[in-house]
């Protein structure tokens, strides 16, 4: 039995082999095509049960087989897996692209929408039909027959380019390592970082310490290493990944130009003025200009604070650190020194209070308080010994969701943090399918017999991804197309994740997350007060950085796409307009901006700031009623998490908050009110 074709439960990671991929995908593509062909031949009036559901079933089987393959390609990448992934990706892309262009299918959905039966469908089912009609138009169903082959070719090519972009970035990250044999060169690095570097060198049969460009190694070097030349070496290697400064076969520059050009061509074919306008057709924001105005207004508010942050840093570096020419590789180091001087604590000191063995139970306690849910270890086959698996039970003991938790960085695992779905909640006859999520991070693994220790920023990241997970797992929608995060506008999908981040700044939550790894004492209130005082440290700089990336993304996919301007030249132009810290000329940020070139955020990176307005405003209702209020927690579940994509996100927000969102809470949370 091919484990990819067994849909009776969770994915069979213990039985998976690369040779299972192609036969499973070929069989499911063939079966799916036959289902479509049979339904198109039928002359009966299409209904939900005779048309939508069978097509949904076929597509779900395909996604449930491809999902584990795609997931493993991200977290356990190998040459053999990559080859099979790239062999099958065009077939998957072509299948969905052909469905999106199928005028006969489009007509069937129109018949359902215009039939008397439409009125008796549930709100969720009506929303699915409306989304499908929109997506057929965006998928090229209305194109002339002579244009459809080119549109299909573009979709296939774009999926291949995105996969190649991510591969190049992973390979370029893995290709760099720096072995240090003189301990003096590593002065300032925390003990746990040194220990991990020593273990990494030992595993390579090398003496000394091994430094890499993976976050648990690179971040602490930039923040703590007193060796300025070491910081510069690491910085230059990091910001030139997948560029012309490395191996030609890993250079993403040409891929970026091709991706932008093809997206623009596809948008023009569909009658849009730019890819940005095409992207926004399925989002909350009404137009690219509206988003640009929002970002520019936010930049106007943030820039004075950013200028002040910069000047304080320059003055401190000159007066206290003897640095008269602060460079990009000095920013994190000088900022950490300034924070310690101003607030009398360091990230490293705080990290000692956040062992994984305390953080996870504290997080689960918060979920129990807000929603009455219990989280405990479950049983499932996993892809790596470090991966954990959990069940979520409601107050009656019923199982309502499950999730995999893959917390640590390792080679052959792509960087960053993300949530993805393994199974989506839906009704199958009398049975409700239990939703299952993947929660993936890249934190430092345990070393020296101690539990993994998280920085406060990493705790925030964990809460962020858990918010995405809850959005997927706590849905009550029973129809696949709008269940969980499905069908949620992309610029609203960050609302539940960023909402969860706010709890990381609440004493009544944080006190349960902490226990000193050695002394077993909780985080002192005095240290917490210092963290709160430092919460908005350099928030002006951080806000402008996000705005810089968002404007770059929107303009690259906007009218600028037709001018042929290079991504790098455009980014430099935008930096001149909004940034206060300009990186060196050799910085190649676009070449590793996988969010927009490989991760689904194209012309949508602004979503982080857009949704942050929603999340800060939503959290203000908790602030008004008690941040651990079960009553408000249940209301958030009912109006935001439970409804998934079954209604517009703005309607869900208004149902929860009682009014439309405004920017005040966001500015207050960032100390810019």
The answer to whether 297 and 310 are in contact (CB under 8 A) is: no
Q: Residues 235-246: pLDDT tens digits?
A: 999 999 999 999
Task: Return the pLDDT at 244.
Answer: 98
Please say whether the dihedral angle defined by the alpha carbons of residues 246, 247, 248 and 253, taken in this order, is positive or negative.
Answer: negative
Domains and CATH numbers, the chain: 3-142 (1.20.1050.40), 176-241 (no CATH), 356-486+493-512 (3.40.390.10)
Q: How confident is the model at residue 561 (pLDDT cuts 50, 70, 90)?
A: confident
First-to-last C-alpha distance (Å) of the chain: 61
What's the half-sphere exposure (Cβ side, CA atoms, 13 Å) at 113?
A: 14
pLDDT digits (tens, 9 = 90+) for 37-54: 999 999 999 999 999 999
Task: State mean pLDDT over 599-607.
Answer: 95
Band (pLDDT 50/70/90 cuts) for residue 663 is confident
Distance between CA atoms of 354 and 515, rounded to whole angstroms? 6
Least confident residue range of 213-227, 293-307, 553-567: 553-567
Helix (H) or strand (E) holding 401: strand 399-408
Q: Taking a C-beta distance cutoff of 8 angstroms, is the pair 486, 646 a contact?
A: no
Q: What is the structure's pLDDT at 339?
A: 95
Q: Is 167 a catalytic site residue?
A: no
- Exposed e or buried b for every residue in 304-333, given b needs 16+ CB within 10 A? ebbeebbeebeebbeeeeebeebebbbbbb
Q: What is the pLDDT of residue 667?
A: 87
> Pick the catalytic residue: 465, 489, 548, 612?
465
The residues, any chain, with a CB within 8 Å of residue 383's CB and separated by 6 or more, are 13, 16, 71, 72, 75, 76, 406
- The residue among 272, 313, 254 whose CA lies nearest residue 588 is 254
pLDDT attached to residue 133? 97
Q: Which residues pair with 391 in a beta bridge?
A: 376, 402
What does each C-alpha distance from 115 to 36, 46, 56, 109 come to in angstroms?
21, 9, 20, 10
pLDDT at residue 564 greater than cutoff 90: no
The three-state (H, E, C) secondary structure of 567-586, written as one string = HHHHHHHHHHHHCCCCCCCC
- The answer to whether 453 and 400 have CB atoms below 8 angstroms apart is no
Show the 3-state SS of 228-282: HHHHHHHHHHHHCCCCCCCCHHHCCHHHHHHHHHHHHHHHHHCCCCCHHHHHHCC
Torsion on CA atoms 216, 219, 221, 226, rounded to nearest 10: -140
CA angle centred on 411, ends 409 and 417, rounded to 5°: 35
- Report whether 413 contacts 74 (CB < 8 A): yes
Mean pLDDT, the chain, whole residue set: 96
Mean pLDDT for 548-561 is 92
- The pLDDT value recorded for residue 364 is 98
Summarised one tens digit per residue, pLDDT across range 176-208 is 999 999 999 999 999 999 999 999 999 999 999
pLDDT band at 562 (very low <50, low <70, confident <90, very high): confident
436 forms bridges with which residues in the sheet? 402, 423
pLDDT digits (tens, 9 = 90+) for 510-541: 999 999 999 999 999 999 999 999 999 999 99
**Whole-angstrom Cα distance, residue 284 to residue 256?**
26
Q: Mean pLDDT, to the nearest integer, of 90-97?
A: 96
The residue-averaged pLDDT of 101-127 equals: 96
Burial environment of residue 258 by CB neighbours within 10 A (0 to 12, 13 to 18, 19 or more): middle
Alpha-carbon 406 to chain mean position: 14
**What does the DSSP assignment read for 614-668?**
HHHHHHHHHHHH-TT-HHHHHHHIIIIITTTTSS-HHHHHHHHHSS---SHHHHH
- pTM above threshold 0.85: yes
In the numeric block, which tokens belong to residue 422? 């393994």
- What pLDDT, in 10s, does the model give residues 458-509? 999 999 999 999 999 999 999 999 999 999 999 999 999 999 999 999 999 9
The reported pLDDT for the residue numbered 655 is: 98
pLDDT score at 406: 98
User: pLDDT at residue 653 above 90?
Assistant: yes
Tokens of 524: 């002192």
């Amino acid at each position: 039995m091919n484990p990819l074709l067994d849909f009776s439960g969770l994915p069979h990671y213990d039985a998976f082999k690369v040779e299972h991929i192609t036969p499973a995908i070929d069989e499911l593509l063939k079966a799916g095509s036959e289902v479509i062909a049979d339904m198109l031949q039928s002359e009966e009036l299409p209904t939900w049960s005779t048309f939508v559901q069978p097509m949904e079933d076929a597509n779900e089987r395909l996604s449930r087989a491809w999902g584990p393959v795609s997931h493993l390609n991200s977290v356990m990448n190998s040459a053999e897996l990559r080859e099979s992934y790239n062999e099958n990706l065009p077939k998957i892309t072509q299948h969905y692209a052909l469905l999106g262009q199928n005028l006969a299918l489009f007509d069937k959905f129109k018949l359902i929408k215009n039939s008397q039966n439409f009125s008796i469908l549930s709100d969720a089912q009506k929303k699915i039909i409306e989304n499908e009609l929109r997506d057929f138009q965006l998928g090229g169903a209305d194109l002339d027959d002579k244009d459809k082959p080119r549109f299909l070719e573009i979709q296939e090519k774009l999926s291949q380019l995105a996969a190649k972009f991510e591969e190049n970035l992973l390979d370029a990250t893995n290709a760099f390592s720096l072995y240090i044999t003189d301990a003096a060169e590593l002065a300032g690095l925390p003990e746990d970082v040194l220990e991990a570097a020593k273990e990494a060198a030992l595993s390579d049969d090398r003496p000394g310490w091994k430094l890499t460009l993976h976050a648990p190694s690179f971040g602490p070097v930039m923040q703590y290493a007193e060796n300025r030349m070491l910081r510069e070496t690491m910085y230059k290697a990091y910001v030139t990944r997948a560029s012309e400064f490395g191996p030609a076969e890993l250079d993403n520059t040409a891929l970026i130009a091709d991706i932008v050009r093809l997206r623009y061509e596809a948008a023009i074919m569909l009658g849009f003025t730019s890819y940005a306008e095409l992207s926004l057709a399925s989002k909350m924001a009404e137009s690219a200009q509206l988003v640009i105005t929002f970002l520019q207004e936010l930049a106007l508010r943030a820039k004075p604070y950013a200028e002040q942050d910069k000047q304080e840093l320059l003055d401190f570096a000159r007066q206290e650190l003897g640095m008269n020419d602060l460079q990009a590789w000095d920013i994190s180091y000088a900022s950490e020194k300034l924070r310690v001087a101003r607030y009398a604590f360091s990230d490293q000191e705080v990290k000692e209070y956040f062992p994984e063995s305390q953080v996870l139970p504290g997080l689960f306690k918060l979920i129990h308080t807000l929603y009455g849910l219990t989280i405990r270890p479950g049983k499932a086959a996993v892809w790596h010994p470090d991966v954990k698996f959990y069940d979520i039970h409601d107050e009656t003991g019923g199982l309502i969701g499950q999730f995999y938790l893959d917390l640590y960085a390792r080679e052959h695992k792509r960087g960053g943090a993300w949530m993805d779905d393994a199974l989506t909640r839906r009704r199958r006859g009398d049975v409700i399918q239990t939703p299952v999520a993947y929660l993936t991070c890249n934190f430092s693994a345990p070393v020296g017999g101690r539990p993994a220790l998280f920085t406060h920023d990493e705790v925030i990241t964990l809460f962020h991804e858990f918010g995405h997970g809850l959005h997927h797992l706590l849905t009550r929608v029973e129809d696949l197309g709008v269940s969980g995060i499905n069908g949620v506008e992309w610029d609203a999908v960050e609302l539940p994740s960023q909402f969860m981040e706010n709890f990381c700044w609440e004493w009544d939550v944080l006190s349960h997350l902490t226990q000193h790894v050695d002394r077993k004492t909780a985080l002192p209130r005095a240290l917490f007060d210092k963290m709160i005082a430092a919460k908005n440290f350099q928030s002006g700089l951080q806000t402008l950085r996000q705005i810089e990336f968002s404007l770059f993304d929107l303009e690259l996919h906007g009218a600028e796409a037709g001018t042929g301007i290079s991504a790098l030249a455009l980014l430099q132009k935008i930096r001149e307009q909004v940034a206060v810290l300009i990186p060196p000329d050799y910085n190649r940020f676009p070449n590793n901006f996988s969010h927009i070139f490989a991760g689904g955020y194209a012309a949508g990176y602004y979503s982080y700031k857009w949704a942050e307005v929603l999340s800060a405003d939503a959290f203000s209702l908790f602030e008004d009623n008690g941040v651990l209020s079960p009553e408000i927690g249940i209301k958030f579940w009912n109006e935001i998490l439970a409804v998934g994509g079954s209604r517009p996100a703005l309607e869900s927000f208004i149902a929860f908050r009682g009014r439309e969102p405004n920017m005040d809470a966001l500015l207050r949370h960032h100390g810019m009110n």
